[in-house]
Amino acid sequence: MTEPDIKKGLAGVVVDTTAISKVNPETNSLLYRGYPVQELAATQPFEAVAYLLWNGELPDAAQLADLRATERAHRALAAEVKAVIDLIPLSAHPMDEVRTAVSAIGASDPGAGGSVLNAGGSPAENLERSIRLFAALPAIVAYGQRRRRGEDIIAPRDDLDYSANFLWMTFGEEPDPVVVDAFNRSMILYAEHSFNASTFTARVITSTLSDLYSAVVGAIGALKGPLHGGANEAVLHIFDEIGSADNVVPWLDAALAEKRKIMGFGHRVYKKGDSRVPTMKAALDTLVEHYGREDVAELYDALESEFVARKGIYPNLDYPSGPAYNLIGFDTLTFTPLFVAARVTGWTAHVIEQAGANALIRPLSHYDGVDERHVER
Ligand code: CMC
């Protein structure tokens, strides 16, 4: 019998089509519904990009106003969801908190209950649920950080757009436009990236005709890992270990001798550099200038140039976004939940796409365990 050609980690395997985004590592480009992500980040509010991912086109003024009205109407943390969050120990990782909160939202959606036979939901119901999750996640993430700091919850502000309101609910201060702009760009860059591990997880769950909330809960679980979304948190842990630019060389000598992976570097698809990094690095630069923190830029540049020179492995999006979120004032543990708030748009667009042209995702495995044997009688 010939050995099957196993693609460990599904590397290089094309499993389906998608019209949502296109990653081209050869040209170092990423398109959302045809638009270069850099152009979207430079010109659009995150709400418009969410609309684009779900509907295939950028919204006109009336469509954007409509989405914003719905988003504002669902921003406040529902009492039952807050009650569930309050039961979670403060020692839990915030990703566990976000995962549980999304699960609680799903369990309180009357339309999602009842028989598993109607769990999948119609495209219109799933779009409505997507918008509600998109609207609710900032309150969940912001409250998570505040309660860990022993601070009270802050109600959303109807006069602020998505990104400004997110920062308001987290810090309780009117955010500076420079900071809002950098944060908005990061949300857009994080929103979508084809069949990455968490999105694929969402599609696998959807393929069984399970519901959108279950798909998002599963995706959050996949995103938590440091090889995926957890890397932005991990970048700050290594920045803390290194301390300052002049310690990069000895730190890297020791880390590589221990065969450690350097978080925020490398990518399964991009081997010549991540298409999103220049845009996020530019956003980080504006924050460095705004907060007068040249030391952060020096450490960033020193680690990047030393690691690239030694290994030829380039930074991914988590490398600039970690220090950017740190400068804005987010706790390190809040970074991956911010990724959730952004990526929920891509995940839910994929749920809707998968459900619309479904085939159960069920690959094969090659058995290499012991040969058939029998219980001794
Ligand atoms: N530090 C040190 N060595 C690395 C790194 C790294 N960050 N990334 C890759 N390598 C080495 C790896 O050790 C391996 O070497 P060898 O062939 O000698 O065993 C080689 O490069 C190939 O790496 P791999 O892990 O087999 O390749 P992959 O395509 O599975 O890796 C990756 C992709 C993202 C898992 C990996 O680059 C990694 O672990 N990076 C660090 C974690 C990280 O930053 N993740 C965020 C990914 S992008 C944004 C997101 O999805 O959240």
Ligand 1 near 276 CB (within 6 A): no
Average pLDDT, integer, range 172-197: 97
Q: Give, in order, the Cα–Cα distances in Å from 217 to each of 105, 169, 175.
A: 10, 23, 30
The phi, psi pair for 86, rounded to 5°, reads -65, -20
Ligand 1 near 346 CB (within 6 A): no
Domain check: are 179 and 252 in the same one?
no
- Per the annotation, the verdict on 267 as an active-site residue is yes
Q: Which of 193, 228, 267, 350 is catalytic?
A: 267
Ligand 1: residue of 238, 252, 268, 303 to mutate (most ligand atoms within 8 A of CB) is 268
Q: Is the dihedral of CA 175, 180, 62, 133 positive or negative?
A: negative
CA of 227 to the centre of ligand 1 (A): 7
Note the pLDDT tens digit of each residue in 215-224. Answer: 999 999 999 9
Domain check: are 241 and 151 in the same one?
no
Note the pLDDT tens digit of each residue in 87-111. Answer: 999 999 999 999 999 999 999 987 7
Domain check: are 121 and 203 in the same one?
yes
Ligand 1 near 322 CB (within 6 A): no
Ligand 1 near 232 CB (within 6 A): no
The phi, psi pair for 7, rounded to 5°, reads -105, 90
If one counts the domains in the chain, the total is 2
Average pLDDT of the chain to the nearest whole number? 95
Q: How is residue 210 written in tokens?
A: 């399970």
CATH number at residue 266: 1.10.230.10
Note the pLDDT tens digit of each residue in 242-292. Answer: 999 999 999 999 999 999 999 999 999 998 899 999 999 999 999 999 999
CATH number at residue 78: 1.10.580.10
pLDDT at 1 over 70: no
What integer pLDDT is reported at residue 37 of this predicted model?
A: 97
Q: Are 277 and 190 in contact (CB under 8 A)?
A: no
Ligand 1 near 132 CB (within 6 A): no
Domain check: are 89 and 169 in the same one?
yes
Domain check: are 151 and 110 in the same one?
yes
CB under 8 Å, gap of 24 or more: what pairs does 175-181 form? 176/290, 178/286, 178/287, 178/290, 179/287, 179/290, 179/328, 181/283, 181/286
Domain check: are 153 and 301 in the same one?
no
Ligand 1: residue of 201, 265, 304 to mutate (most ligand atoms within 8 A of CB) is 265
Q: Which domain holds residue 260?
A: 231-328
For strands 29-32 and 21-24, give the pairing: antiparallel
Q: Are 235 and 322 in contact (CB under 8 A)?
A: yes
Extended beta strands in the chain, E state: 21-24, 29-32, 35-36
Q: pLDDT band for 117, please (50, 70, 90 cuts).
A: low
Domain check: are 141 and 238 in the same one?
no
The protein residue with its alpha carbon nearest to ligand 1, atom 28, reads 268
Entry pTM: 0.96
Q: Which atom of ligand 1 is nearest to the CA of 256?
A: 2
101 found inside a domain: yes
